[in-house]
Structure 1
Amino acid sequence: MSVDLNDPGIDPFDVAKAAATVIAERTGAATHDVALVLGSGWGQTADLIGPTLATVDNADVPGFHAAAVAGHSGSMRSVAIGDTGRRALVYGTRTHFYEGRGVRAVVHAVRTAKAAGCSTIVLTNGCGGLNLAWGPGTPVLISDHINLTAASPLEGPTFVDLTDLYSARLRAIAHEVDPTLDEGIYVQFRGPHYETPAEVQMAKRMGGDLVGMSTTLEAIAARHVGLEVLGISLVTNLAAGISDQPLSHQEVIEAGQAAAERCGRLLADVVQRVA
């Protein structure tokens, strides 16, 4: 449902509450427990978490829009988390910063998740890897991030500690599910163009292990509203200059499809343990 979140007269948290109300009405669930934002390569995850109890078109929910990227779904789903009696709110797409809708739109799903009752959010993405050991299809836990967008979802004197932004507790649960998981630092660029080899080397020298175009702004907003955050990247390709292969979004989609079963099962097991 079209809402101009950039209008300074609109309180984005009021829009999030309105969105949560519509979600509750359409799904029949007064609250949800865990939210998942499915990035490139993670689209089949919801099917492995549990049965979908309701599907809501993004266009029917205040502040949300249709998917703008191939490989994403333009709807959100209310999914039963195994037999726990709890529900996951699964977003099939996200608003990317490069779409030009403004930072409020980028983090609207996060704020809506909190308004819908969630206490935990799982942020996933498809990304470029800087480690040669991480071939396409490798999931990597995000331990920290570097935000190179020159933007923040926080407005005014809103000072939020990001020291332990990506929950050590949730990462420990993920390691219990899959002890082979590595961790890395995610670097977000503005996009939508891919990074140059020089920019990738800059990110590497800054301490980065993964590069992409999402997640960091959402994670900051999640911390602000009190959500516990788990971040997982799917390495869909080696970053520019790390290999001699050209980059393409089709490669991202294909890598995600190839890794769908492993990544979906990983997330499903983690979500069930968290719930």
Structure 2
Amino acid sequence: MPFTDALRTLKAKAPFVPDLAIVLGSGLGALADSPEARAGLSIPFTDLPGFPAPTVAGHGGKLVFCEFEGRKVALQAGRFHFYEGHPMPLVIAPMRLYGRLGTKAVLLTNAAGALNPTFGVGDLMALSDHINLFGTNPLIGPNVEPGPRFPDMTAVYDPAFRNHLQACATQLGQTLREGVYLGLTGPCYETPAEIRAFRLMGADAVGMSTVPEAIVARHEGMRVAGISCLCNMAAGILPQALTHQEVLEAGAAAAGRFEALVRAFVRSLPL
């Protein structure tokens, strides 16, 4: 397996095997600086052999092992993106590490653009499925045992987890959208013509991460949930140009609702 040295280092440093890993996307990293996180153990990415520092604003670049809402959790502040020029084995390496540690489940979060015109900026969306337009698959190459050579992807995003997210949102008085996430390499934002095509394909949101991680997490036998923070309306839906600063600002504005939802999800997670 690639990153064997990183796994050996992580096993030596990690204070426990987390029940759940939570990947914090652009603008959603505040949980990694929560009181629980400050009381836990922080491991910078650069302490793990082969892991570089992140280069994208809003991605902190560390793993935090902590007790969070009564559960043993690993908070991943930041991720590696394909558009940064990283090879796919690095993009999905954290999922391999969690699987080999014995982690049962992963919650993937991201900032995304809304394609569904009934959704709005700042909405949260539970991922029900995805469309992979990365132009590659993270499982290409020799099979990483003991995962199956041809893993089933009928229900990548665990239906029970998705129902639990909806129940938590209802308890909090939140509206949680649900939809299909379409993953692209980036780094440019999509053209209006592409967005029209993606809507015809059945996508509700578009982003530049998550899909490779979800595929590998399932290959590792972990249960997966996903939440997108819809930080902008995709190209052509509104007249203004798209910027990463807009994404960060919308993520910050939604941070309180996002944190409340994640806390409720973890607190009563049916693992």
Cα pair distance change 1:222/1:15, threshold 3 Å: farther
Once the 2 structures are TM-superposed, how far is the Cα of residue 44 of structure 1 from its aligned partner? 1.4
Question: 1:7 matched to which residue of 2?
Answer: none
Q: Distance in 1 between matches of 2:236 and 2:35?
A: 36
Question: 1:147 matched to which residue of 2?
Answer: 132
Q: Distance in 1 between matches of 2:158 and 2:247?
A: 27
Identity %: 41
Question: 2:146 matched to which residue of 1?
Answer: none
Task: Select which of 51, 56, 67 maps to 2:54.
Answer: 67
Other structure's SS at 1:21 match: helix
Q: Distance in 1 between matches of 2:83 and 2:122?
A: 24
Question: 1:163 matched to which residue of 2?
Answer: 154
Once the 2 structures are TM-superposed, how far is the Cα of residue 54 of structure 1 from its aligned partner? 1.2
The farther-off stretch of 55-64 and 137-146 is 55-64
Q: Distance in 1 between matches of 2:31 and 2:90?
A: 24
Contact kept? 2:32, 2:76, Cα under 8 Å: no
Paired amino acid for 2:212: L
Once the 2 structures are TM-superposed, how far is the Cα of residue 48 of structure 1 from its aligned partner? 5.6
Contact kept? 1:128, 1:238, Cα under 8 Å: yes
Contact kept? 2:36, 2:68, Cα under 8 Å: yes
Contact kept? 2:214, 2:224, Cα under 8 Å: yes
Cα pair distance change 1:271/1:19, threshold 3 Å: farther
1:106 aligns with 2:106: no
Contact kept? 2:115, 2:205, Cα under 8 Å: yes
Cα pair distance change 1:182/1:47, threshold 3 Å: same
Summarize deviations over 1:227-252 as a string: whole Å, max 9, x none: 10001100000000111111000000
Contact kept? 1:49, 1:269, Cα under 8 Å: no
Question: 1:35 matched to which residue of 2?
Answer: 21
The farther-off stretch of 71-80 and 226-235 is 71-80
Alignment of 1:154-193 (within 5 A): 154=139, 155-156=141-142, 158-179=149-170, 180-193=175-188
Structure 2 gaps of 5+ residues are 144-148
Cα pair distance change 1:188/1:262, threshold 3 Å: same
1:45 aligns with 2:34: no
Cα pair distance change 1:51/1:97, threshold 3 Å: closer
Once the 2 structures are TM-superposed, how far is the Cα of residue 120 of structure 1 from its aligned partner? 0.5
Once the 2 structures are TM-superposed, how far is the Cα of residue 51 of structure 1 from its aligned partner? 4.4
Other structure's SS at 1:184 match: strand
Once the 2 structures are TM-superposed, how far is the Cα of residue 20 of structure 1 from its aligned partner? 2.8
Contact kept? 1:124, 1:232, Cα under 8 Å: yes
Paired amino acid for 2:23: V
Q: Distance in 1 between matches of 2:86 and 2:37?
A: 32
Question: 1:5 matched to which residue of 2?
Answer: none
Q: State the TM-score, normalizing by the size of structure 1.
A: 0.89
Question: 1:229 matched to which residue of 2?
Answer: 224
Paired amino acid for 1:60: D
Alignment of 1:80-119 (within 5 A): 80-82=67-69, 84=70, 86-119=71-104
Paired residues, number: 259
Once the 2 structures are TM-superposed, how far is the Cα of residue 189 of structure 1 from its aligned partner? 1.0
Summarize deviations over 1:94-124 as a string: whole Å, max 9, x none: 0001111211001001111122221000011
Other structure's SS at 1:12 match: coil
Question: 1:3 matched to which residue of 2?
Answer: none
Question: 2:209 matched to which residue of 1?
Answer: 214
Structure 1 gaps of 5+ residues are 1-10
Contact kept? 1:200, 1:241, Cα under 8 Å: yes
Task: Select which of 155, 174, 195 maps to 2:190.
Answer: 195
1:264 aligns with 2:243: no
CA-atom RMSD in angstroms: 1.7
Contact kept? 1:46, 1:90, Cα under 8 Å: yes
Cα pair distance change 1:120/1:59, threshold 3 Å: same
Q: State the TM-score, normalizing by the size of structure 2.
A: 0.90
Cα pair distance change 1:229/1:16, threshold 3 Å: farther
Paired amino acid for 2:164: I
